[in-house]
Amino acid sequence: MKRLSRYRRHKAAGPALLIFALLAIGTTFSVASANTTAQTTTADRSALIEEGRQIFLKGCSSCHGLNSEGGVIAPSLVGVGAASVDFQVGTGRMPMADMSTQAMRKEPLYTPEETAALAAYVASLAPGPEIPTEAQLNYERDGSTAEGGELFRNNCAMCHNFAGQGGALTQGKYAPTLMGVEPKHIYEAMITGPQAMPVFSDKTITPKEKMDIIKWIKHAESEPNLGGASLGRVGPVTEGLLAWTFGLGILIGVAVWLAMKAR
């Protein structure tokens, strides 16, 4: 002790002490946090769930009930899983803009972090479909466009149209366009069956098949129209309209010019 105190007034004593203190605190902290990762993540997770609960109470409980038990105008969220929330909130469908026939895709109200919090909260209520993992979304590597097309035409085209442009359902409902939808949201829609859409569980359409479908949809989205402008990719209706207006219309215009006397 006497030896140490001899350097008490050394001019390097202050900085050395400072550096020592910083190192000690830093090392202690990282060691401590490394050891207790699980506890901290759970703590983080609880924090996330609590954050989600707060957002829920403010923005969702008025329709979905204070305990997500549902009500007259909104279903219960118990058991819908993180995937449902990530889809509905992530595509902007929820909160619903107006109480019309069905929720429309629009600009999301909540940030990705808030969405994750909401998802964590709802997932904590009861087990349900989970947000797909990176591996489940690696469609570029693991998916097959051709098989995806077959699956799409068998399971999706009847509502969403052969090119994913969307289609009509009864009483004003509709299957929306699949163009410009994130792969994650496509996957989540399939496993959660939002609104009128049925559920396509992983046993009936396996995760690999889901990747095939996503790959095909992404291909259709980026595929340039080979023969000219696309006319909406909805088939003969727009083609007929164009034939009458642009086709015959222009020809009649030329005919009028043809029969007019020249100046």
Partner 1 sequence: MTTEHRLGQVANYVDERTGAAAWMKKNLQKVFPDHWSFLLGEVALYSFIILLLSGTYLTFWFDPSAREVIYEGSYEPLEGVQMSAAYASTLHISFEVRGGLLMRQIHHWAALIFMAAIVAHLMRVFFTGAFRKPREANWIIGIGLLTLGIVEGFLGYSLPDDLLSGTGIRIAEAIIQAIPVVGSYLSYFAFGGAFPGEAFIPRIYIVHVLLLPGAFLALITVHLMMVWYQKHTQYPGPGRTEKNVVGYPLMPVYMAKAGGFFFIVFGITAFLAAVASINPIWLYGPYTPGQISAGSQPDWYMGWLDGLVRMSPPIETYFFGYTVSWNILIPGLIVPGILFTGMALYPFIESWITGDKREHHLLDRPRNAPNRTALGAMSITFMIVALINGGNDLIATHFDLSINQIMWGTRVGIFVLPPLAFVITKRLCLSLQRADRELVLHGRETGRLLRLPSGEFVEVHEPISPEKAYLLTSHEQAPALELATEDARGVKRAGAIRNKIRSRMSVAHAEAVPKVSTEDLKEIESH
Partner 2 sequence: MSNEIEAIKDPGLPAHVHRKADHDPVAARRAERQVAAMFMISGLGTVLLIASFFIPDDVFVFVPVMGNQNAHQLGLGLGMAISLFFIGMGAIHWAKTLMPDQEVIAHRHEFRSPDSDRKEFVDTVKEGAAATGLGRRSLIKRTLGAAIGLSAVSPLLLFRDLGPLPGNDLKETSWKSGTYLVTDPGDRRIRASDLEVGAVAQVLPESDDPEHRKLNDIAKDAVLLIRLRPDEFNLDAERLSWTHEGIIAFSKICSHMGCAVALYEQTTKHLLCPCHQSTFDVTRAAKVIFGPAARPLPQLNITVDAEGYLVARDPFYEPIGPSFWGRISS
Residues within the interface to partner 2 (CB under 8 A): 147, 150-151, 154-155, 158-159, 167, 169-171, 173, 175, 193, 195-201, 203-204, 206, 209, 224-230, 257-258, 260-263
**Cβ count within 10 A of residue 135:** 10
Task: Write down the least CB distance from residue 175 to partner 1, Å.
Answer: 7
φ and ψ of 25, to 5 deg: -65, -45
Phi and psi at 17, nearest 5°, equal -65, -40
Q: Which stretch binds partner 1 (CB under 8 A): 11-19, 42-50, 90-98, 234-242?
A: 234-242
- C-alpha distances (whole Å) from 114 to each of 80, 106, 120 are 18, 17, 10
By beta-carbon proximity to partner 1, the closer residue of 121 and 200 is 200
- CB nearer to partner 2: pick between 96 and 196: 196
Residue 209's binding partner among partner 2, partner 1, none (Cβ under 5 to 8 angstroms by kind) is partner 2
> Considering only CA atoms, which of 66, 102, 68 is closest in space to residue 85?
68
CB 216 within 8 A of CB 145: yes
- Position among 10, 254, 262, 263 found at the interface with partner 1 (CB under 8 A): 254
Q: How far is CA 161 from the centre of its chain?
A: 21
Q: Choosing among partner 1, partner 2, none, which partner's interface includes residue 124 (Cβ < 5 to 8 Å by kind)?
A: none
Scanning 12-20, 40-48, 150-158, 185-193 for contacts with partner 1 by CB under 8 A, the matching segment is: 150-158
The distance of closest approach from Cβ of residue 30 to partner 1 in the complex, given in angstroms and rounded to an integer, is: 50
Peptide bond into 194 cis (omega under 30): no
Give the torsion sign (CA, 7, 9, 13, 17). positive
Residue 206 contact, options partner 1, partner 2, none, Cβ 5-8 Å cut-off depending on partner type: partner 2
Q: How far is the CB of 178 from partner 1 (least distance, A)?
A: 12
| Rounded least distance, CB 193 to partner 1, Å | 17
Decide: is 228 part of the binding site for partner 1 (CB under 8 A).
yes
Q: Which residues pair with 168 in a beta bridge?
A: 174
CA distance 155 to 146: 14
CA 66 – CA 210 distance, rounded (Å): 35
**Site membership for partner 1, residue 99 (CB under 8 A):** no
**Residue 8 interacts with which of partner 1, partner 2, none, CB < 5 to 8 Å by class:** none
Give the residue with the Cβ less far from partner 2, 79 or 92.
79
Residues 197-216 that bind partner 1 (CB under 8 A): 216
Tokens representing 81 are 């899983």
CB 89 within 8 A of CB 82: no
